[in-house]
Amino acid sequence: MINPQQDSSSLFDDSHGLGYQVHVEAFEGPLDLLLHLIRKNEVDIYDIPIAAITRQYLEYLELMKELNLDVAGDFLVMASTLLQIKSRLLLPVQAEEEGGEEEEEDPRAELVRRLLEYQKYKEAAQQLELLPLLGRDAFVRARDLTELKELQTADESPEVELFDLVEAFRRVLADLPVQTFHEVGSEQINIADRINAILTLLQERKGVTFEDLFTEVTTRDYLIATFLAVLELCKLKMVKITQAGSFGAIWITSAVLDSADASEGVDDHDW
């Protein structure tokens, strides 16, 4: 499967000195660089000469370092992937145990798929840029006509996005004095999250068991936050906790929304 080394001496022959700089800036990431190398070498994307391409790729990273450019981690990850593929190609094909599928997938296949997929969106991005861009190619009427001010209107979709909400919250916290910020810091937010989650659950169904609250993730912090959340809700008299028998399930029900719902069994536990 390994291709004969069809090294075209060096890939960067045509770009000397400052020319490098241009190239360095031109690549959006490791996939972009690889596409460039494949084109440059005029090799078949379905049969990439991994050894040659890897060497050129590494040369390029070396070049970036020499130019004191930050070699982003993403480029390094790809480098190790390439080396991995290269070494897998060197392994004898029947090295797998006898039960394995008759045809091992080419170690390069995943990379090829990624490259083709990336190429597709790279092209799409170029297409997008050709569309008539508002503010560049087309303009709308100026909006500050005083005569029409009171008539102006917004579109029918809500004026607000989820992101606005988070940003608003972030702004509030950022404006707080540093000391206070810690008070409302990360652990407490976890409790708030858990309170929110429990309230949601109780909006969806009448009651939940204590165990229901611990189904998702079970880290220590999560358990503690959930436990504290239940305590907090109890303290606020927003939930009612009942237990069916001494060893039965502990039920949490909403105390606020359906007050008519009288509970049998053990009454409010005082936690």
Partner 1 sequence: MHPKGWMIMTGNLRSVVESLIFVAEAPLSLDRLSSILEEHERSEIRAVLEELLAEYELSGRGIVLVEVAGGYQFRSRPEHADYLKRLSRTRPPKFGQSSLETLAIIAYRQPITRAEIEYLRGVDCGGILKTLLDKKLIKILGKKDVPGRPLIYGTTREFLELFSLKNLASLPTLKEIQDLVQPPIYEEQGELPLTVSAGGEETGE
Within residues 150-169, the interface with partner 1 by CB under 8 A covers 150-169
Min dist. Cβ of residue 147 to partner 1 (A): 7
Position 49 contacts partner 1 (CB under 8 A)? no
DSSP collapsed to 3 states, the chain:
CCCCCCCCCCHHHHCCCCHHHHHHHHCCCHHHHHHHHHHHHCCCHHHCCHHHHHHHHHHHHHHHHHCCCCCCHHHHHHHHHHHHHHHHHHCCHHHCCCCCCCCCCCCCHHHHHHHHHHHHHHHHHHHHHHCCCECCCECCCCCCCHHHHHHCCCCCCCCCCHHHHHHHHHHHHHHCCHHHHHHCCHHHHHHHHHHHHHHHHHHHCCEEECHHHHCCCCCHHHHHHHHHHHHHHHHCCCEEEEECCCCCCEEEEECCCCCCCCCCCCCCCCC
When binding is defined by CB under 8 A, the residue of 131, 214, 244, 269 that contacts partner 1 is: 131
Q: Which of residues 52-111 bind partner 1 (CB under 8 A)?
A: 72-74, 76-78, 81, 84-85, 88, 105, 107, 109-111
The sign one gets for the Cα dihedral 172, 178, 179, 184 is positive
Which residues partner with 251 through β-bridges?
209, 242
Position 136 contacts partner 1 (CB under 8 A)? yes
Position 270 contacts partner 1 (CB under 8 A)? no
Q: Which of residues 241-260 bind partner 1 (CB under 8 A)?
A: 255-256
When binding is defined by CB under 8 A, the residue of 18, 22, 140, 262 that contacts partner 1 is: 140
Q: Which is nearer to partner 1, 51 or 255 (CB)?
A: 255
Q: Which is nearer to partner 1, 98 or 144 (CB)?
A: 144
Q: Are 29 and 70 in contact (CB under 8 A)?
A: no
Position 1 contacts partner 1 (CB under 8 A)? no
Q: Which of residues 173-232 bind partner 1 (CB under 8 A)?
A: 173, 175-176, 184, 186, 189, 192-193, 195-197, 199-200, 203-204
When binding is defined by CB under 8 A, the residue of 1, 6, 21, 46 that contacts partner 1 is: 46
Q: Which is nearer to partner 1, 11 or 85 (CB)?
A: 85
Position 264 contacts partner 1 (CB under 8 A)? no
Min dist. Cβ of residue 20 to partner 1 (A): 18
Q: Segment contacting partner 1 (CB under 8 A): 12-20, 37-45, 53-61, 240-248?
A: 37-45
When binding is defined by CB under 8 A, the residue of 137, 211, 264, 270 that contacts partner 1 is: 137
User: For the purposes of burial, counting CB atoms within 10 Å of the CB of 252, is it exposed (0-12), middle (13-18) or buried (19 or more)?
Assistant: buried
Position 16 contacts partner 1 (CB under 8 A)? no
Position 141 contacts partner 1 (CB under 8 A)? yes
Two structure tokens written together for 100: 């394995």
Q: Which is nearer to partner 1, 167 or 248 (CB)?
A: 167
Dist CA 182 CA 173 (whole Å)? 10
Q: Which is nearer to partner 1, 112 or 223 (CB)?
A: 112
